[in-house]
Amino acid sequence: MDFQAGGFEAASEVSAYSAPAERRSEPRHEGLAEAAMLSFRGETLRVPVINISSRGTLIESDIAPRLGESVVIRFDGCSPMHAFVRWWRDGRIGLNFGGEIILG
């Protein structure tokens, strides 16, 4: 599924052994997704999306996750995907996806 159809698709080849990309060098996109459904400790919450990149997203929520904690996130029109908490501060949470997604 491509973005014009309202979604994202998983990258077909992601190597578990490739060197990690510089997180700050990846383009962040605002406005591609306004909100997402977040599954966190047995609850499902609708959360605003601040920005998104091929490897993660920045959301807003009043939850208090642990660093490294696993969550499941689902953008409108897309399949759920696993992510983990990279950081959180002042109601903003940086999530890394379990794999790379293609934004188109």
Domains of the chain, by residue range, sit at: 29-102
Q: Which fold, 29-102?
A: Thrombin, subunit H (2.40.10)
Residue pair 48/56 in contact by the 8 Å Cβ criterion: no
Tens-level pLDDT at each residue, the chain (104 residues): 344 444 554 443 333 333 344 445 678 888 889 999 999 999 999 999 999 999 999 999 999 999 999 999 999 989 999 999 999 999 999 999 988 888 86
Cβ–Cβ < 8 Å for 48, 29: no
Within a 13 Å sphere around the CA of 75, how many CA atoms are in the beta-carbon half? 27
For residues 56 and 25, the answer to whether their CB atoms sit within 8 Å is: no
